[in-house]
Amino acid sequence: MLENLLGVIQQEGVSEQLFHSLIGIEIEENRIDKAGRVSTRPHPTALGSRTFHPYVQSDFGESQTELITDPNPNISGVLDQLDTLQTVLFRTLEGDDRIWPLSMPPAVSEADRETIKSHFGRPAYRAYRDYLTKKYGVDRKIVTGVHINFNLPDPVINRLFGHYQDQFDHVTAFKNALYFQLAQNMVLNRWLLTYLFGASPVAEKGYFESMGTAPLSGPARSLRNSQYGYSNQPADGVGAGIYQSLPAFIETLEKQVAAGVLYSQAEFYGPVRFRGQKALPDYLTRGIKYLEFRVFDNTPYTSNGVSRHALNFLKIYFLYLMVTPVTGSTLEADLQAAERLNNQVALEAPTSHTIAEQQGRQIFDELHDLAVKLAAHSEQLTALDDFSEVMTHPELTPAAKLTKHIKNGSLMEYGVTRAAQLKAERTGAADLLPVFSRLSVRAQELIFRAVQLGVRYYEVRDENGESMLMMTFDGMTQVVSVDFLPEEDATTYLKRLFPDLPVPTTR
């Protein structure tokens, strides 16, 4: 139904706008103590209330912190904000806490499991959390990862729709078709991202035992993306075949929730989630707003957990997935076969050539062709070239690099050392917020405290090009000049700007 989509994009000249599709990042991270044990400290009080915080949340475990950026059309912008959120988190950690840099959790003892079960600071989610504990166990639920959110520009969608009005009744149906084709192709080729970005080669002592499974005989590319990672159980009935069509996706999820197989739609852990609507049927009438890709392991090689290089590659890869037709009468079988292939690639030895290498070579040939047709930026072309080399050189993958640090089947020593390095780098920087080093100390303090308390911030320019801060909380927006801030501490000033802003009493 989306015939010649690439040609239409070229005809309309909207490739540059598509390269500026919105990207958002969500990253989950475990807090640990200096010995590498999961932290027993509660969520830092200074980070405000999780009932409304736009940037900092916690997940299954009280020690599991989640950072959430705003969507941004520029990779530099989204990474700068992620860096700011990470810096605020690191500088707010209590005691000797630091951040575990890997997706697979540190070694968890039975005492640790009991502590995780009994310490939980989000009462509204307690029943759901207890259900998950019983069904999946603690260890699998504290596996962490990076989620990438992707949002196509509505003006571009509207322009492209003009070429397909004879096939779709309204623009919402067309937009859904774009997003769903992108999602289907991602699932069909999930193995490629597992190969390129897998960084979870081993599980620490007790992980497999907690699942009643024998440990693997050697390292893998991505345990997190395998059958042993963060995934639904086969009996849940929501495997890759659920992506046959949007109506089938919605019907299957609703059926499994109604039958009590899943607690709610939130228990769907597939590689792609559709976002923007609370009720599943509303996706058919109101449309998909953006996609959430959930397949990325935390990488310890960049301080933010995700690299600029990766995001440059992903922007063009997502467009490739969007314009590639999904055809064939065996789609359900193809999706199921792709799920099996991904699991196989995830469990391959990290330094070995993947069974799907030839398929990967073909994809990169097609990606290079697409990059030329869409006049991709030099940075994107460099990323394509580099990841193309990784495709045929497995020793360059993150998982393979991590194998050099494995000792006696464990990455505990490496993880503890790297966590200490990251904390020292963050807390030892000369500037409070290095991304904003060009701003005054007072302006940095204001942004820092705004993030802590859950006030959204945006750096903007006025009509004279002067730097301003636009801050929002609870529907109220305030704009202040970074060069003319009052002589009062940041908390007092924020309370004056937003009288209803809760300020926690620190421990």
CATH code, domain carrying 20: 3.30.590.20
Inter-helix orientation angle 171-188/331-346, to 10°? 40
Does 409 share its domain with 465?
Answer: no
Residue 506 lies in a domain: no
Give yes or no for a contact between 88 and 448, defined as CB atoms under 8 angstroms apart.
Answer: yes
**Helices and strands (DSSP H and E) totals, the chain:** 20, 10
At residue 507, the pLDDT reads 59
Residue 69 in any domain: the answer is yes
Asked if residue 423 is part of any domain, the answer here is no
First to last CA, the chain: 59
Helix (H, G, I), strand (E, B) or coil at 262: coil
Mean pLDDT of the chain: 96
pLDDT digits (tens, 9 = 90+) for 409-418: 999 999 999 9
Last residue of a domain, one of 367, 391, 418: 418
- Assess whether 411 and 445 both reside in one domain: no
Same domain? For 312 and 400 the reply is: yes
CB-based burial, 341-357: b 16+ in 10 Å, e otherwise: bbbbbbbbbbbeebebe
408-443 per-residue burial string, b: 16 or more CB within 10 A, e: under 16? ebbbbebbbebbeebbeebeeeeebbebbeebeebb
- Residue 75 confidence (pLDDT) above 80: yes
Residue type, 364: F
Domain identity same for 187 and 309:
yes
Cα torsion angle, 126, 129, 133, 138, sign: negative
pLDDT of residue 60: 87
Do residues 264 and 357 both lie within one domain? yes
Q: For tokens 């607690």, what's the residue?
A: 263
Q: Which of 398, 392, 272, 289 is nearest to 338 (CA)?
A: 272
Taking the C-alpha atoms of residue 360 and residue 357, their distance in angstroms, rounded to an integer, is 5
Residue 465, classed as helix, strand or coil, is coil
Contact 293, 269 (CB under 8 A): no
Q: Which residue range is the domain that position 34 belongs to?
A: 5-418
Does residue 428 form part of some domain?
A: no
d(CA 174, CA 182): 13
Which DSSP letter does residue 235 get? G
Q: How many Å apart are CA 319 and CA 5, to the nearest integer? A: 11
CA distance 22 to 5: 20
Place of tokens 């050392």: 417
Q: Are residues 462 and 370 in the same domain?
A: no
Is 218 contained in some domain?
Answer: yes
- 37 is written with which tokens? 């044990």
Give all strands of the β-sheet with 467-473 in edge-to-edge order. 456-461, 467-473, 476-481
- The DSSP element (H or E) to which 108 belongs, if any, is none
Is 425 among the domain residues? no
392 shares its domain with 481 = no
Q: How far apart are alpha carbons 83 and 3 in whole angstroms?
A: 40
Asked if residue 430 is part of any domain, the answer here is no
If asked whether residues 250 and 395 sit together in one domain, one would say yes
Q: Which residues contact 165 (CB under 8 A, 6 or more apart)?
A: none
Percent over 90 (pLDDT), the chain? 91
Tokens representing 50? 């999780």
Query: What distance in Å separates the CA atoms of residue 394 and residue 407, rounded to the nearest whole number?
Result: 20
User: How many domains does one find in the chain?
Assistant: 2
- On the question of pLDDT at 278 being above 90, the answer is yes
Looking at the DSSP bridge assignments, the partners of residue 10 are none
In this structure, is residue 388 part of a structural domain?
yes
**Which tens digit of pLDDT belongs to each residue from 239-272?**
999 999 999 999 999 999 999 999 999 999 999 9
Q: Using the 3D structure, point to which of 360, 385, 418 is the last residue of a domain.
A: 418
Which residue(s) pair with 151 in the sheet? Answer: 22
- Examine the domain organization and report whether 408 and 492 are in the same domain: no
**Residues 116 and 179 placed together within one structural domain of the fold:** yes
Per-residue pLDDT of 380-433, as tens digits, reads 999 999 999 999 999 999 999 999 999 999 999 999 999 999 999 999 999 999
13 and 140 housed in the same domain: yes
Total-model pTM:
0.96
Final residue in a domain of this structure, among 388, 418, 448 = 418
Residues 414 and 452 occupy one common structural domain: no
pLDDT tens column, 288-340: 999 999 999 999 999 999 999 999 999 999 999 999 999 878 999 999 999 99
